[in-house]
Amino acid sequence: MIRNLARDVQAFTSNVFLVTGETTALVDAGANFDLLARLSEHVDDLDRLYLTHTHPDHVKNVGAAREAFDVETWGYDADSDYVDNGIADGETVPLGDDEYEALYTPGHAADHLCFYAAETGVCFAGDLVFANGGFGRTDLEGGDRPTLVESIEYLHETVEDGLSALHVGHGPSVTERPLDDVEIALRSSQMG
């Protein structure tokens, strides 16, 4: 089961997905809202915390989660204070009841990962692409447009045969023809 704990939060935060199952985990921690209060409505414990990247709106609540659950974090850049365990491109990690492949997808941030479960077609895309074909900004530190386009191509290639749900870092998830949104994002980002 996948829930967005940051739904309806009126503050500057990323989405925060709670995935329950054999490995109960968060995808991103969010910022500027009481994560623990929202978590406690659903779970008593947390096995893992995954980070799509370490921009402040995705990680400010990491400290609260670490303190409350003694939970370790996983992300691309093991040198980051927010990341306890580095994940390499192509590595597989447990999330909920499924195995997700990590896709190293820089461009919006230098340490950006997407997570994709080929078996179910579920993808957590962070700030690489958004609903309706939006894509991540590249004017922040570590951002680069040509690199972003390559990353969207990589995502598209990986998910094109099976994508069933796209959960993104900001705004709504897409469960109706999500590949269309990835294709629009790819074309719009290529147009510059």
Q: Which residues bind Zn ion (CB under 5 A)?
A: 55, 127
Q: Which residue number places its CB atom closest to Zn ion?
A: 55
Nearer to Zn ion, 69 or 130 (CB): 130
For the bound state, the minimum distance from the C-beta of residue 169 to Zn ion, rounded and expressed in Å, comes to: 6
Nearer to Zn ion, 47 or 127 (CB): 127
For the bound state, the minimum distance from the C-beta of residue 112 to Zn ion, rounded and expressed in Å, comes to: 8
Three-state DSSP at 142 gives: coil
Nearer to Zn ion, 23 or 32 (CB): 32
Other CB atoms within 10 A of residue 117 CB: 20
Q: How far is residue 68's CA from residue 188's CA, in Å, rounded to a whole number?
A: 42
Determine contact, residues 114/39, Cβ cutoff 8 Å. Answer: no
Nearer to Zn ion, 75 or 96 (CB): 75
The two beta strands, 92-95 and 85-86, are: unpaired
For the bound state, the minimum distance from the C-beta of residue 150 to Zn ion, rounded and expressed in Å, comes to: 18
Token readout for 110 is: 């230098």
Determine contact, residues 62/29, Cβ cutoff 8 Å. Answer: yes
For the bound state, the minimum distance from the C-beta of residue 52 to Zn ion, rounded and expressed in Å, comes to: 8
Query: What are residue 48's DSSP bridge partners?
Result: 25, 72
Amino acid identity at 187 = R
E runs forming strands in 81-160: 85-86, 92-95, 98-104, 113-117, 122-126
Nearer to Zn ion, 65 or 168 (CB): 168
For the bound state, the minimum distance from the C-beta of residue 55 to Zn ion, rounded and expressed in Å, comes to: 3
